[in-house]
């Protein structure tokens, strides 16, 4: 996949606008209702016997103290009734879930108690308190005659523990921790013999086997998202709205359905304007009711409903690209539960027309691609009543660019946020990038460019890093690594900048070693605020600062150009021109892996792999059905770098 850099944010906005156009057409399945009479976030409740019962999220003045109000809702009249105050202490950001016609709730700031509400008798019963820490924003599921609870925020820190309350013994018991890092504000639901937990400020999703008491991973597609609402219905799990993991707005995938049998998430209709943080929901019969929460830091009281028995035409899911090489890629997906996949469409990025393949089967092998080229694809699902829907458009780049773009470099161990400082400007030789401050709260950017920033073997290049600060200057740490050997790893001897405790621009002259690998490689630039940088993959602490990656093209002046990187080791092609068999004499086959033949416009024709013992490779023009014209023969090393190129004329 490619990454959006800061200067490409406009493209992201255009994609978002296109999504809005689609979402408005889909959101017709949502019906607006009367406003909720209270304006609040973190409310919670459930539907029972044709009505809903909701506990208001924030305590209000009860006349003698602060307490939480609770309400009932009648869908027949679309009206709310004030039922008074919830007993027990006032609480903020409580959480709850229903089971067997009753509602269970508790926890919140400075709270670890548990309560049961019976709507048939309008009575509250306090249950045994959890012996663990108090917590806000935990996972909480009532299922299988048990309460499952864990993670959340306590005493200023996230936690990852996991507790089970058994109604048969009326006792709490601590179990194996939730996998992954500590988290709060996750999503959760119970289906049959499993409890599903994921998201929060972490990307991982897992399920808890109730009988065997063990965790296992599930599809991580929703990734890190926080403070929405969730529920299960008819053997499916649902997550709805909320924020991205960095508390930025969600741009897409607001309403997702999880199919336990397929281990796949499917997009459902939603309108971006309905998106909320800390929103609430309940179900009456098959109708989902959605309300409350914050939008742009303002409490909202709008409410809508959605029929869960009529989810419409659902697009394909789990779109993935695997086995990408210079000329082909395998495309995988999971078919929609409501229709069939009728078309696979793809094109080179920037082209208007789509190439179309009908009735595709996953895995779909997409071939005849050009090296180091960006492509995009989508799938069309057809449902009953002539309904059709496209999947998201997914992009990928073929290999053949060089290490910088072909190799997966290490991800950062912790999320990075430019809260108190950021990389304002980077200069590498004659190249300069004024990236400025991120307006979408991101602290990592990959400025990939297949051309690269050209630097010379054995020569000095000046690297300059200018910090920026939203308020006062802060003590900062700066580091830079260059992957000189092009192996995809930033080793200790490849660190070229290490400046500590400064708030000024850092300037360093770096010599490109004579032993450096010629071609496209990666440079990583890091700035940390009040944190020691622990390495190229770890900004340290809470990750306050910014990290930027760039591509360098290392050349040997006099013998290398961008298109002919080792011209002194030229290929010998004979006969040339040719009308029959063609022979290519290799300059030094110990360094190379294959020959790639393209037309003069760069369109892929074939690739011929060879062993280290071969010095001559034969090209059969008749078998390849080569037409008259000019072709390019490129010698490629084991890492995919094009090392030398020669013209071939076919008569």
DSSP-based three-state secondary structure for 12: helix
As given in the structure block, the two tokens for residue 593 are 């892996």
Does 414 lie in the same domain as 386?
A: no
Below-70 pLDDT ranges, the chain: 1-28, 438-441, 531, 541, 558-570, 587-592, 600-603, 611-613, 637-643
Does 543 lie in the same domain as 631?
A: no
579 contact partners, CB below 8 Å, separation of at least 6: 621, 650, 651
538 contact partners, CB below 8 Å, separation of at least 6: 412, 413, 414
Measured CA to CA, the distance from residue 111 to residue 89 in angstroms comes to: 9
Query: Over 430-495, what HEC string results?
Result: CEEECCCCCCCCCCEEEECCCCCEEEECCCEEEEEEEEECCCCCCCEEEEEEECCCCCCCCCHHHE
Q: What's the CATH code of the domain at 430?
A: 2.60.40.2950
Own/partner long-range contacts of 65-69 (Cβ < 8 Å, ≥24 apart): 65/90, 66/90, 68/94, 69/38
Residue 560 lies in a domain: no
Residue 632 lies in a domain: yes
Other Cβ atoms closer than 10 A to 232: 20
Question: Percent helix, strand, coil in the chain (nearest 5)?
Answer: 5, 50, 45
Q: How far is CA 525 from CA 10, 371, 445, 473, in A?
A: 24, 28, 10, 19
Q: Where are the alpha helices (DSSP H) in 27-82?
A: none
User: Last residue of some domain: 277, 307, 337?
Assistant: 307
Using one digit for the tens of pLDDT, what is the confidence trace for 341-359? Answer: 999 999 999 999 999 999 8
User: Last residue of some domain: 555, 587, 607?
Assistant: 555
Residue 215 lies in a domain: yes
Does 631 lie in the same domain as 590?
A: yes
Other Cβ atoms closer than 10 A to 11: 11
Measured CA to CA, the distance from residue 248 to residue 256 in angstroms comes to: 18
Residues 598 and 637: beta-carbon distance below 8 Å: no
In total, how many domains does the chain have? 4
Residue 563 lies in a domain: no
Given its phi and psi angles, is residue 7 left (phi above 0), alpha (psi -120 to 50 degrees) or beta?
Answer: alpha
Residue 33 lies in a domain: yes
The confidence score (pLDDT) of residue 589 equals: 53
Residues 372 and 401: beta-carbon distance below 8 Å: yes
Does 644 lie in the same domain as 497?
A: no
Q: What's the CATH code of the domain at 595?
A: 2.60.40.10
232: closest CA among 224, 243, 221, 240? 240
367: closest CA among 326, 316, 320? 326
Does 149 lie in the same domain as 25?
A: yes
Measured CA to CA, the distance from residue 350 to residue 337 in angstroms comes to: 32
As given in the structure block, the two tokens for residue 231 are 């529920």
The confidence score (pLDDT) of residue 12 equals: 34
Q: Are strands 388-390 and 339-348 parallel, antiparallel or unpaired?
A: unpaired
What b/e sequence results for 472-502 when a residue is b if at least 16 CB atoms lie within 10 Å of its CB, and e otherwise? eebebbbbbbbbbbbebebeeebbbbebeee
Does 605 lie in the same domain as 544?
A: no
What's the start-to-end Cα distance of the chain, in Å? 40
Measured CA to CA, the distance from residue 570 to residue 645 in angstroms comes to: 8
Q: In what order do the strands lie in the sheet with 604-609?
A: 604-609, 592-599, 629-637, 642-650
What b/e sequence results for 262-281 when a residue is b if at least 16 CB atoms lie within 10 Å of its CB, and e otherwise? eebbbbbbbbbebbbbbbbb
As given in the structure block, the two tokens for residue 49 are 């016997």
Residue 518 lies in a domain: yes
The confidence score (pLDDT) of residue 618 equals: 85
Residue 200 lies in a domain: yes
User: Last residue of some domain: 258, 289, 307?
Assistant: 307
Does 211 lie in the same domain as 325?
A: no
As given in the structure block, the two tokens for residue 582 are 């063609």
Other Cβ atoms closer than 10 A to 462: 12
As given in the structure block, the two tokens for residue 17 are 């606008």
Instruction: Tell how many helices (H) and how many strands (E) occur in the chain.
Output: 2, 55
Measured CA to CA, the distance from residue 282 to residue 150 in angstroms comes to: 22
Domain coverage including residue 362: 317-397
Q: Is the dihedral of CA 169, 171, 177, 178 positive or negative?
A: positive
Does 250 lie in the same domain as 228?
A: yes
Does 303 lie in the same domain as 157?
A: yes
Does 216 lie in the same domain as 69?
A: yes
Does 141 lie in the same domain as 61?
A: yes
Does 506 lie in the same domain as 538?
A: yes
Residue 489 lies in a domain: yes
What values do phi and psi take at 267, rounded to 5?
-75, 135
Length of the chain, in residues: 651
With vertex at residue 247, the alpha carbon angle to CA 45 and CA 480, rounded to the nearest 5 degrees, is: 150
| Residue 386 burial (10 A CB sphere; 0-12, 13-18, 19+) | exposed
Cis peptide before 285 (omega within 30 of 0): no
What values do phi and psi take at 391, rounded to 5?
-75, 175
Q: What's the CATH code of the domain at 108?
A: 2.120.10.80
């Amino acid at each position: 996949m490619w990454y959006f850099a800061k200067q490409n944010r406009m493209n992201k906005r255009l994609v978002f606008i296109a999504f809005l156009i689609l979402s408005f057409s889909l959101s017709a399945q949502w019906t607006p209702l009367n406003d909720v009479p209270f304006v609040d976030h973190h409310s919670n409740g459930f539907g029972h016997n044709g009505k809903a019962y909701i506990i208001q999220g924030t305590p209000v003045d009860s006349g003698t103290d602060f307490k939480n109000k609770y309400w009932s809702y009648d869908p027949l009249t679309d009206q709310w009734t004030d039922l008074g105050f919830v007993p027990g202490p006032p609480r903020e950001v409580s959480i709850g879930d229903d089971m067997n016609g009753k509602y269970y709730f508790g926890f919140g700031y400075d709270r670890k108690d548990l309560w049961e509400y019976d709507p048939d008798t309008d009575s509250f019963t306090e249950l045994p308190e959890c012996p663990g820490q108090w917590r806000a924003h935990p996972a909480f599921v009532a299922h299988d005659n048990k309460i499952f609870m864990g993670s959340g925020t306590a005493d200023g820190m996230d936690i990852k523990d996991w507790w089970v309350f058994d109604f048969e013994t009326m006792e709490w018991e601590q179990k194996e921790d939730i996998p992954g890092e500590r988290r709060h504000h996750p999503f959760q639901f119970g289906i049959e013999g499993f409890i599903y937990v994921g998201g929060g400020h972490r990307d991982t999703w897992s399920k808890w086997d109730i009988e065997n008491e063990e965790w296992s991973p599930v599809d991580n597609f929703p990734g890190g998202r926080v403070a929405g609402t969730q529920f299960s219905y008819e053997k499916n799990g649902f997550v709805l709205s909320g924020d991205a993991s960095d508390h930025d707005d969600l741009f897409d995938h607001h309403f997702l359905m999880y199919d336990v049998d397929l281990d796949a998430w499917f997009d459902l209709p939603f309108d971006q304007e309905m998106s909320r943080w800390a929103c609430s929901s309940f179900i009456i019969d098959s109708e989902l009711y959605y309300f409350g929460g914050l939008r742009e830091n303002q409490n909202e009281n709008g409410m809508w409903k959605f029929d869960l028995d009529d989810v419409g035409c659902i697009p394909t899911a789990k779109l993935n690209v695997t086995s990408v090489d210079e000329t082909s890629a395998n495309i995988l997906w999971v078919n929609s539960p409501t229709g069939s996949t009728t078309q696979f469409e793809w094109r080179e990025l920037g082209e208007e027309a789509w190439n179309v393949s009908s009735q595709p089967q996953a895995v779909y092998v997409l071939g005849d691609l050009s090296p180091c080229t960006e492509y995009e694809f989508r799938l069309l699902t057809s449902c009953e009543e002539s309904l059709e829907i496209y999947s998201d458009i997914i992009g990928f780049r073929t290999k053949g660019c060089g290490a910088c773009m072909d190799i997966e470099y290490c991800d950062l161990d912790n999320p990075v946020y430019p809260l108190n400082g950021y990389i304002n400007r980077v200069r590498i030789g004659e190249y300069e990038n004024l990236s400025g401050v991120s307006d979408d709260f991101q602290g990592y950017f990959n400025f990939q460019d297949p051309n690269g920033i050209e630097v010379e073997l054995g020569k000095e290049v000046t690297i300059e890093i200018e910090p920026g600060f939203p308020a006062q200057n802060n003590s900062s740490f700066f580091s830079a690594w260059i992957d000189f050997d092009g192996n995809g790893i930033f080793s200790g001897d490849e660190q070229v900048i290490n400046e500590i405790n400064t708030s000024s621009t850092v300037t360093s002259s770096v010599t490109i070693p004579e032993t450096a690998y010629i071609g496209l490689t990666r440079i990583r630039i890091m700035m940390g605020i009040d944190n020691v940088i622990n390495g190229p993959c770890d900004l340290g602490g809470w990750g306050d600062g910014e990290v930027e990656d760039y591509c360098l093209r290392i050349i040997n002046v006099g013998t290398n150009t961008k298109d002919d990187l080792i011209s002194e080791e030229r290929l010998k092609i004979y006969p040339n021109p040719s009308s029959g068999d063609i022979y290519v004499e290799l300059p030094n086959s110990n360094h190379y892996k294959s020959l790639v033949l393209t037309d003069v416009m760069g369109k892929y024709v074939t690739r011929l792999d060879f062993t280290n013992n071969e010095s001559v490779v034969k090209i059969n023009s008749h078998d390849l059905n080569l037409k008259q014209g000019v072709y390019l023969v490129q010698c490629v090393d084991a890492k995919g770098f094009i090392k030398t190129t020669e013209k071939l004329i076919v008569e």
